[in-house]
Amino acid sequence: MLARLKKALESLAYLWLIFLSWKWFTGQLDYNFNLSCVLLSLAWLGLTAHGLSENLRTYFDILSRLKVRVPMIFGILLSSLVLFTPWQLEVTLARLINPQELLAHILSPLPLMATVELALWLLVYGAYKRNALRFKKQGHGPLPSGAWVNPPKEALQEGDLILTSGRIAKTLRESVGHGEVVVDLKRGELYTLTSYMEKGVLIQPLAQMTEKLTHGHYIALRLRTDFDEKQKSLVKGLTEIILEQNKLYQQEARLKRDKLYDFFHLPSVLRGLIEKKIPVSGYDWIGLFTGRRSQDRFTCVGVCLELYHRLGVKTSVYGTGLFGLGTGLFDPIMPTRFLADPAFRLLTVADKAKFEDIRK
């Protein structure tokens, strides 16, 4: 509840500052120009500093990076405008040549505040750049340094969450954009449960991903608390139930769509175009953009979360929405955010060293 309240307040603060920034751009703020620049820069500085530690910790999430970069660039611009007013080249050059005149200008109230703001923004920039050194670029985005990339199937176990690269990762400029959970179906080998846009929910041998690298690179997150014996006994049955629910949804959705085609007398060409762009596959297209979790159709990480929650595994709350009110608006469940989930830990090169020692 407290986390949702915090998210609601932060969302309102961002929206309010975006509104004020728009009024500044359009010249509608009822303040002196220099004063409005100083106050707006100060407000963005305060909001950025408030969430800086969290945004630096979740640097692998593009939204976290933007929440530092965009206000920082805008704030530096605002403060710089105050320092260089009036915008006359001869006046600026005269101040640079005459140290006393430059000092007198800087020590006047608003330029002095702008100078302090610039110094603080530079501190934010320094912290941002130092933090970036703790990550490495893998594919299209950053991963924590020391992450074990492409661990073999022998190093993985039931309950592990595998995050891979792919189309979504490329689109979002992130390192990972697809998720699959490792399950033991008592068939002699491990499988993964996931959902594809073209096929819906499915299971496939773990080796298909780890050996063929069908999605490019991947990393693995391990539950901090392994499944107990009761949870292990439930995995197979719950996986089969989820598959059956998704199959029934596909059948119902197919019938509904065919009825719509017939009702509107759509030509076969248009039907084919719709089927190509939005196939009836059991994939949760609404959930892809909103973070909604359904009971019978899923995104890739949505079906992983569904299995975890049916097994009683507590994770972070996802898809709570812009104001943390459960609306799902503007809050898709991006796979990269699982890197910050306290229920999991990232498999690292230290785990790789232990694994290799055991195999010797």
pLDDT digit string (tens) for the chain, length 360 residues: 666 677 778 888 998 999 999 999 888 877 788 889 999 999 999 999 999 999 999 999 988 999 999 999 999 999 988 887 765 555 565 666 667 666 666 667 788 899 999 999 999 999 999 999 999 999 889 999 999 999 999 999 999 999 999 888 888 788 999 999 999 999 999 999 999 988 999 999 999 888 877 667 999 999 999 999 999 999 999 999 999 999 999 999 999 999 999 999 999 999 999 888 888 888 988 888 777 778 899 999 999 999 999 999 999 888 755 555 555 455 677 889 899 999 999 999 999 999 999 887
C-alpha triplet 302, 307, 309: angle, nearest 5°: 90
pTM, rounded to two decimals: 0.85
- Sorted by sequence, the CB contacts under 8 Å of residue 319 that are 6+ apart come out as 287, 290, 291, 292, 293, 326, 328, 331, 332, 333
141, 60 in Cβ contact below 8 A? yes
| Rounded distance between C-alpha atoms, residue 158 and residue 313, angstroms | 13
CATH 3.90.1720 in the chain is located at: 141-359
The residues facing 205 across adjacent strands are 191
pLDDT recorded at residue 168:
80
Strand partners, 182: 192
What pLDDT score does 94 carry? 60
Per-residue burial over 223-239, b if 16 or more Cβ lie within 10 Å, else e, is: beeebeeebeebbeebb
Residue 316: burial class (beta carbons within 10 Å; 0-12, 13-18, 19+): middle
Structural contact between residues 246 and 200, judged by C-beta atoms closer than 8 angstroms: yes
Which helix H or strand E contains 54, and what residues bound it? helix 52-57
Task: Count the Cβ atoms, other than its own, within 10 Å of residue 151.
Answer: 20
In this predicted structure, what is the pLDDT of residue 324? 56
Q: Give me the pLDDT at residue 101, please.
A: 63
Residue 331 is predicted with a pLDDT of 62
Q: Which phi and psi angles does 309 have, rounded to 5°?
A: -70, -35
- DSSP letters spanning 136-195: EEETTEEEETTB--S--GGG--TT-EEEE-SHHHHHHT-S--EEEEEEE-SSSSEEEEEE
Beta bridge partners of 298: 283
Cα–Cα distance between 61 and 291 in angstroms, integer? Answer: 16
CATH number assigned to the domain with residue range 141-359, chosen from the 4 options 1.10.10, 3.30.70, 2.60.40, 3.90.1720? 3.90.1720
Are the CB atoms for 105 and 85 separated by under 8 Å? Answer: no
Q: Which residue has the tokens 């949760």?
A: 284
